[in-house]
Amino acid sequence: MDKNHNNSTILIVDDVPINIRMIASLLIGPYTLLVASNGRDAIEIASNKPVDIILLDIQMPEMDGYEVCSFLKSNPATSDIPIIFLTAMNETADEVKGLALGAVDYIRKPPNPQLLRTRISNQLEIMMHRNHLERLVQERTRDLEHAKRLLASANQAKADFLAVISHEMRTPLNSVIVFSDLLLNSNLASKDRDNVQHIRESGRDLLDNINEILDFVNLDPNSFTLNTTPFTLVTLIEEVVNLLAKEAELKGVAVLFQVDELVPESVVGDLRRLGQVLRHLLGNAIKFTRAGQVILKVSSEIEPGQDKARFTFRVEDTGCGIPPDKQHMIFQQFTQSDASLTRRHGGVGLGLAICKKLVEMMSGELKLVRSDSSGTVILCCVNLEIQTIATKVKGRTTPETPVERPPSAMIVDRDAVEQQVTIMARWLKKGNLKANESLEPLRKLLVGTALQVEFFKLEQAMDQFSFNVAQDHLETIARFLRRENLDAP
């Protein structure tokens, strides 16, 4: 770096004119010199003119050098100016006090001319390096901020592209699935029914892939919010297990769950998102298990006096396992442990990445415990608020009909529920996609009631365009209303 300090400005502060002339004579030539005969003038000059270094006397009337140094260091506009005390005070305590106030050096009078010039030059060199580094930091910061904006813009463009493409793909796919359902409800020959069933299953597989993409795109931590409601944990687990029972039964895989007797019965959390995570973890285990069993073990840890608990969902399977060199990839987006699995089972490699994001948004953790030829164990831990104490629940195999449980709350606006059920039933009967418009009103009406889990199943069926299944769940809601002596469709 260039060591030429010709443009540096030095402020000499001393109340004795002869001292000022002596110091100036030692520094004349290379520097621009400013002088002040008292502390107040020194502060005025340093605050209003560019000063690179200050030579400051200590013993001055009205305001001594210590006071001047303390004031300059407390002012953001002058705090970075290096101060060298140049004084006749030669006690060690004086030097320690001056350096403690922020001075960079302490020189005793009369100064050695060469020593004075060298120390000034060294401090100016340090200041130049510091200023150079600050400029570099500012430039790098600007570059990083610019790169961050470009990255954010690119990510947003990618998200917008995926969202648009996914929605555009869903539009024609909706018709394929809906009309396949309608055809399956008509009188078809056996061969034609098999063909239509294949079309419907392929459409649903494609829809699952698109939904994964949309879920992943929409999981922005800055805008995503959890929809917390009270629900019965065991009921949710039963619904998830029963939803997957048919697929497991076709493969000859047993699906079981065990809930520790100390697990609280009623909790508060995001029912839909927790259900989504459990469905995918169990569904994934079933998918990659050819024979044997998949088991979900649920336990909890409750700190005394706390209204929250740490819930652990342990999913164990007897599947083919994950190769050791691929295990670190399973929670990464758009990846699967083996390309042949993608061809055999489908999917875009987003399911576990979505689960990990959702669990982390619930202040939880998702991790692989082990995976070998004997099977895989995945652990999901989340924090949920406790509503009621635990009741003893035994583990069960599936499929079985879930036991009826008492309502968690009464339905407040029954007339509105009846109206939405009636509208939705008519639209579903006609295969009309407008049935989706009744989902949100029903959600608001049924959350926190005895029908919230049934609504959860209805919503999942609608998401998968399984209108026949959706009609069954809607009829369950209607039967509940009729049991309450209401006029439901």
Q: What is the DSSP string of 247-292?
A: HHHHHTEEEEEEE-TTSBSEEEE-HHHHHHHHHHHHHHHHHT-SSE
| Backbone dihedral angles phi then psi of residue 88, each to the nearest 5 degrees | -85, -10
Which residues are 119's β-sheet partners? none
DSSP three-state, residue 51: coil
The answer to whether residue 201 scores a pLDDT higher than 60 is: yes
* Structural domain spans, the chain: 9-111, 227-405, 406-489
Q: How confident is the model at residue 408 (pLDDT cuts 50, 70, 90)?
A: very low
pLDDT for 346 equals 47
pLDDT at 429: 58
Per-residue pLDDT of 268-286, as tens digits, reads 998 888 988 998 899 889 9
pLDDT exceeds 70 at position 305: yes
The per-residue pLDDT for range 333-360, each reduced to its tens digit, is: 555 545 444 444 444 456 788 888 889 8
Residue 158 scores a pLDDT above 60:
yes
8 Å CB contact between 105 and 84: yes
pLDDT band at residue 56, thresholds of 50, 70 and 90? very high
Spatial strand order of the sheet with 83-87 comes to: 32-36, 9-13, 53-56, 83-87, 105-108
Please list the alpha-helical segments (H only) found in 304-451. Answer: 339-345, 351-361, 414-429, 439-446
Q: Band of the pLDDT at 482, cuts 50, 70, 90? A: low
Q: What was the pLDDT predicted at 423?
A: 63
**DSSP per-residue codes, 452-489:** HHHHHHHHHHHHTT-HHHHHHHHHHHHHHHHHTT----
Given pLDDT bands bounded at 50, 70 and 90, which one contains residue 406? very low
Q: What is the pLDDT of residues 416-462, one digit of tens each?
A: 556 666 666 665 555 544 455 556 677 666 666 666 677 777 777 66
List the Cα angle 15/19/25 in 5-degree steps: 135
Residue 58 and residue 98 in contact, taking contact as beta carbons nearer than 8 Å? yes
Helix residue ranges, H only, 54-91: 65-74
Coil/strand/helix, residue 17: helix
pLDDT band at 223 (very low <50, low <70, confident <90, very high): low
Indicate whether 287 pLDDT > 80.
Answer: yes
pLDDT for the residue numbered 399: 37
Higher pLDDT, 157 or 108: 108
Q: What is the pLDDT of residue 153?
A: 87
Tell me what pLDDT residue 182 has. Answer: 82
Distances (CA, A) of 412 to 100, 164, 232, 444, 473: 71, 38, 19, 11, 20
pLDDT at 316 over 90: yes
Q: Which residues pair with 375 in a beta bridge?
A: 372
Amino acid at 442: L
Q: Which residues pair with 357 in a beta bridge?
A: none
Structure tokens at 329: 């990839």
87: nearest Cα among 18, 10, 19: 19
Q: Measure the CA–CA gap between 446 and 379, rounded to whole angstroms.
A: 31
Q: What is the pLDDT of residue 1?
A: 41
pLDDT band at 481 (very low <50, low <70, confident <90, very high): low
- For residue 402, what is the DSSP state? P
**Mean pLDDT (whole number) for 458-471:** 66
Closest-CA residue to 458 (of 446, 471, 449, 445): 471
What pTM was estimated for this model as a whole?
Answer: 0.47
Mean pLDDT (the chain, rounded): 78
Higher pLDDT, 303 or 9: 9
Query: CATH for 227-405?
Result: 3.30.565.10
**pLDDT of 318 above 70:** yes
Looking at residue 421, what is its pLDDT? 66
pLDDT computed for residue 320 by the predictor:
83
Over residues 312-335, the mean pLDDT reads 80
Q: What's the CATH code, domain 9-111?
A: 3.40.50.2300
> Of 112, 10, 108, which is closest to residue 59 (Cα–Cα)?
108
Indicate the SS3 state at residue 13.
strand
